[in-house]
Amino acid sequence: MDMWFLVKTKPRQERRAAENLERQGVVSFCPMVNMEKISRGRRMVVEEVLFPGYLFVNFDQHKVSATSIRSTRGVSQFVSFSGKPAHVPEELISGLKQRVALEEGIDSPSLPKLGDQLEILDGPFRGLNGVFSEPDGNSRAIILINLLNQQVKASMPLRDLKLNAAAE
């Protein structure tokens, strides 16, 4: 009887483990999500692993040896409790598959665009409004703030900024 289990993979080798398990006839599931990131000043959508370092595998313990799975390239070990591999309920896997399928149809929340009105939520400028100028790395933005009738550039974490409700 086929059952789902959870295996720990070697760092950043989830895809490699999945490919090698597939060659052995073992079904694997590695939930992926699309994330919007900034790389070299450009916005890009990157597909990332939802659970880094882990992979769900489905196999019949009477037909496939757990040792062969554990020794597969990219696989580190089974996640186990009391020395027994952790069984993952089928409902959890089907729920994750549905959730990933729903996420594929929805655009991820985007970063602010040039000229967007932003409200500053935290820090010394909390409560002020600014205008998005440009990204500043992966998690920061340069915004223009009107201070003493002059526009001043300030670099702030994206988590401290919110699209101004009046601009939406």
Q: Give the pLDDT confidence of 94-119 residue by residue, as tens digits.
A: 999 888 877 665 544 457 888 889 99
Residue 94 in any domain: the answer is yes
**Does the reported pTM lie above 0.75?**
no
Total domain count for the chain? Answer: 2
Helices (H), the chain: 14-23, 66-70, 90-105
Distance of CA 150 to the CA centre of its chain: 39
Note the pLDDT of residue 157. 86
Which domain, by its residues, includes 62?
A: 2-105
CATH of the domain at 92: 3.30.70.940
When pLDDT is cut at 50, 70 and 90, the band that residue 15 belongs to is: very high
Residue predicted with more confidence, 38 or 129 = 129
Same structural domain, 63 and 139? no
Same structural domain, 6 and 88? yes
pLDDT one-digit tens code per residue, 135-153: 876 678 889 999 888 889 9
Same structural domain, 54 and 83? yes
Angle at the Cα of 113 from the Cα atoms of 101 and 122, rounded to 5 degrees: 95
Residue 50 structure tokens:
């939802």
CB 117 within 8 A of CB 131: yes
